[in-house]
Amino acid sequence: MFSPRSIRHCRACGAPTAYREPPDDNRERAVCTSCGTIHYENPLNVVGTVPVWDGKILLCLRNIEPRKGLWTLPAGFMELSETTEQGALRETEEESGAKVRLGPLFTLLNVPHVGQVHFYYRAEMTGPGINPGPETIEARLFDESEIPWDALAFRTVKVTLEHFFADRRQGQFTVHCADIA
């Protein structure tokens, strides 16, 4: 189980924290040793899309760690003050330069060992234009037979693509939820 224990100082007063179970709680939290503020550590949300143009899937070759030089769907961490949908659109444009119409939620994948939840939306590109940002070496459209399965950056991307192609063959898309060990 993911347990970072990364909060060492209180964000309210700067004093050291200690990990202990606060009253009326059921797990250890970072608690300020001076003012008593309880600091919660929660999962990070990763949001992205499965962009499609003319039956092909848009993938991005990562220019940043982790997994630099491997292929991924356009996605990244959700920012404060945005919805999952807004974040997915922003990340798609930042990483690929593609303009898309956002479709429904497609996969929701829990990745507890790294403290993340990944949300991927189906998306239709509004044109073939691609203009990758600095986090992307290259963005390219792939037929199913061309997907670089052995060079995908993350298991969540592989699972999402497997569901996408299976659903497309069946002619019906559904929402897929899973835990990634």
**154 lies in some domain:** yes
- Tell me which amino acid residue 179 is: D
**1 lies in some domain:** no
**101 lies in some domain:** yes
- Domain of residue 149, CATH code: 3.90.79.10
pLDDT interval class at 6 (50, 70, 90) = confident
**2 lies in some domain:** no
The range of the structural domain enclosing residue 25 comes to 7-41
Cα–Cα–Cα angle for 147, 150, 151, rounded to 5 degrees: 80
What pLDDT digit, counting tens, does each position of 56-113 carry?
A: 999 999 999 999 999 999 999 999 999 999 999 999 999 999 999 999 999 999 999 9
Are residue 96 and residue 142 in the same domain, yes or no?
yes
Are residue 58 and residue 145 in the same domain, yes or no?
yes
pLDDT at 1 over 60: no
Query: Two tokens at 45?
Result: 């949300």
pLDDT at 2 over 60: no
Instruction: Tell me which residue of 66, 61, 132 sits closest to 93, measured CA to CA.
Output: 132
Instruction: Tell me which residue of 180, 60, 100 sits closest to 88, measured CA to CA.
Output: 100
Fill in the DSSP letter of residue 87.
Answer: H
What pLDDT digit, counting tens, does each position of 104-156 carry?
A: 999 999 999 999 999 999 999 999 999 999 999 999 999 999 999 999 999 99
Q: Which pLDDT score, from 0 to 100, does residue 3 have?
A: 59
Q: pTM score > 0.85 for this model?
A: yes
Count: domains in the chain: 2
